[in-house]
Amino acid sequence: MNKKSAASRRNFLKQISLLTASTALAPIVLSEVSAQQMYPRKIRTAEKVNLACIGIGNRGGEIINDLFKTGHCTIVALCDTDMGAPPTQKIITKFPGVPQFQDFREMFEKMSDKIDAVVIGTPDFSHFPATMLAMSLGKHVYVEKPMAHTFNEVELMMRAAKKYGVVTQMGNQGHSDPNYFQFKAWTEAGIIKDVTAITAHMNNPRRWHKFDPKIKSLPAAEPVPASLDWDTWLGTEQFHDYNKDYINGQWRCWYDFGMGALGDWGAHIIDTAHQFLELGLPTEINMLYAKEHNPFFFPYSSTIEFKFPERKNMPPCVITWYDGLDNLPTVPAGYGTVELDPNIPPPSNGTIAPSKLNPGKIIYSKELTFKGGSHGSTLSIIPEEKAKAMASKLPEVPASPSNHFENFLLACKGQEKTRSPFEIAGPLSQVFCLGVIAQQLNAKLKFDPAAKKFVNNDLANKLLVGTAPRREWKKYYKL
């Protein structure tokens, strides 16, 4: 596809024409392991994990620093499509002499035998090919949340992780913090039981843009920065002209590249409830509110209802997700204060914008109501009088033996098991993929979790797969 013809794809109908012809999931093909595959190297307890880093600026750089601080890894390769960007240069300066690459494919071709594991801190849409190639080469993978950009990509990643026998961890770091161990202990003790509804919300000013919702086409072409390999940055995605509003975190806002506030924060808010309540996949995903809906970027505000069926001896559960500055959920009597929670990381620029309601959740069971925050923030029983009455019945919550980054590296050495491996993080990520489809179509959708397809919307089924990858990237869907 030449740039002129590709750049003409500027409206939603043309985007949809690039979807796969199938109305169900694309065939899942995992080829036989090639003779070149390197099985995971057995790493001795006293050794350090040889870690390659893909996506080293901004959040990627923060993850690299956190992994390095554990003392369990050696940084052996740095890869980023823009090695001249200021955030990227910070990591390059910190690790002088480490081999540098702009394309992870070249990195693996030249250094595969020197790499035990990779950390992937790239935009959502580019998690998939790097993760699939790494796993096929026997490399352990730490990838930021959400796992991938489409339902089908997540499905492939889960199957590949099982096939290749590698250690995996999704980067919802609160899954190794106090909330994880508290939720687990309280569920096992029967304190959290018979949950029928959850309100999940992200309403602070972080992540919101000021794009015009009346736009008729994607942003106009701008000169590509000299240090940026734009073609490699696009990866599997069909060609787009470069625009500054696609990079440096803004990619989260566009359907073509990101997963919006739901994909960004859902993994920090819904994760423990999803795992320990064994929610799996929903049967209905209903778009209740979409402010300034348009075909190009996520709504300014969204309310999405996810209906999960009865499971084992647990009742049906409805999660209602709220995002947007003016889309706050109602809170129950006795909710208490809404001051900023120190467990929730500030924006990457170091400032804290005022917020009416912290990101978090309210969990309603038949007997109790719980108030929780985001990331590692622990739950409290509300109102306060009820919490005092329950205090003597609460089980002891064990301390975390390792943070999320150390947990991954120790798992690479066989000393621990990861807490957010793909078999746990995958279905959670797929919930977000389903929510994004409801946002994109502004529709009420019915889903069959067993068949993994929608039963009332053919277009939604095509979006489970997404746009066809560019020709040179198709092979990653067959690994």
Pairing of strands 453-454, 49-54: unpaired
Cα torsion angle, 144, 146, 149, 155, sign: positive
Q: Is the pLDDT of residue 11 over 70?
A: no
Quick one: average pLDDT of 123-130?
98
pLDDT digits (tens, 9 = 90+) for 135-194: 999 999 999 999 999 999 999 999 999 999 999 999 999 999 999 999 999 999 999 999
Q: How confident is the model at residue 210 (pLDDT cuts 50, 70, 90)?
A: confident
Please report the pLDDT score of residue 337 as a whole number.
72
Q: Per-residue pLDDT averaged across 318-341, rounded?
A: 85
Buried-exposed string 286-314: b where 16+ CB fall within 10 A, e elsewhere: bbebbeebbbbbbbbbbbbbbbbeeeeeb
| Cα end-to-end distance, the chain, whole Å | 24
Region 299-318: mean pLDDT is 97
pLDDT tier, 342 (very low <50, low <70, confident <90, very high otherwise):
low
List the structure tokens of 285.
Answer: 């995903």
pLDDT, tens digit, for every residue of 242-266?
999 999 889 999 999 999 999 999 9
24-38, 124-138, 427-441, 445-459: segment of lowest average pLDDT = 24-38
Residue 13 has pLDDT above 50, yes or no: no
Q: State the average pLDDT for the chain.
A: 90
pLDDT over threshold 80, residue 292: yes
16-25, 27-36, 186-195: range with lowest mean pLDDT: 16-25
As a whole number of angstroms, the distance between CA 91 and CA 49 comes to 18
Q: Write the pLDDT tens digit of every residue in 384-403.
A: 999 999 999 999 999 999 99
Task: Say how far apart CA 165 and CA 357 lie, in whole Å.
Answer: 42
pLDDT at 30: 56
CA distance 138 to 184: 31
- For residues 302-312, give the mean pLDDT: 97
The backbone torsions φ and ψ at residue 21, rounded to the nearest 5 degrees and listed phi first, read -70, -30
Measured CA to CA, the distance from residue 139 to residue 110 in angstroms comes to 14
Sorted by sequence, the CB contacts under 8 Å of residue 349 that are 6+ apart come out as none
* pLDDT confidence band for 226 (50 / 70 / 90): very high
pLDDT of residue 336: 83
The predicted pLDDT at position 27 comes to 60
123 Cα distance to chain centroid: 10
Strand order in the sheet with 49-54: 100-101, 73-79, 49-54, 117-120, 140-143, 168-170
Query: Would you say residue 227 has pLDDT above 60?
Result: yes
pLDDT in tens, 405-454: 999 999 999 999 999 999 999 999 999 999 999 999 999 999 999 999 99
Do the Cβ atoms of 107 and 133 come closer than 8 Å?
Answer: no
- C-alpha to C-alpha distance for 177 and 405, rounded to whole angstroms: 11
pTM of the model: 0.92
Give the model's pLDDT for residue 431. 98
- The pLDDT assigned to 479 comes to 77
33 is written with which tokens? 């392991």
- Retrieve residue 188's tokens: 């096992």
Report the pLDDT value the prediction gives residue 351, as an integer from 0 to 100: 41
Q: By the 8 A CB rule, do 324 and 302 touch?
A: yes
Where do we find the tokens 């809906």? Answer: 293
Which pLDDT value is given to residue 4? 38
Q: How much of the chain exceeds pLDDT 90, in percent?
A: 82
What pLDDT shows up at residue 207?
63
pLDDT tops 80 at residue 213: yes
Query: What is the dotted CATH code of the domain comprising 180-345+353-392+427-471?
Result: 3.30.360
What average pLDDT score do residues 190-208 get? Answer: 90
Q: Would you kindly state where each structural domain of the chain is located, as residue ranges?
A: 180-345+353-392+427-471
What pLDDT does residue 354 have? 43
Task: Check whether the bond before 383 is cis (ω within 30° of 0).
Answer: yes
* pLDDT of 12 strictly over 50: no
Q: Does the pLDDT value for residue 272 go beyond 70?
A: yes
Average pLDDT over residues 302-315: 97
The predicted pLDDT at position 325 comes to 87
Confidence band of 18 (pLDDT split at 50, 70, 90):
very low
Q: Is the pLDDT of residue 206 over 70?
A: no
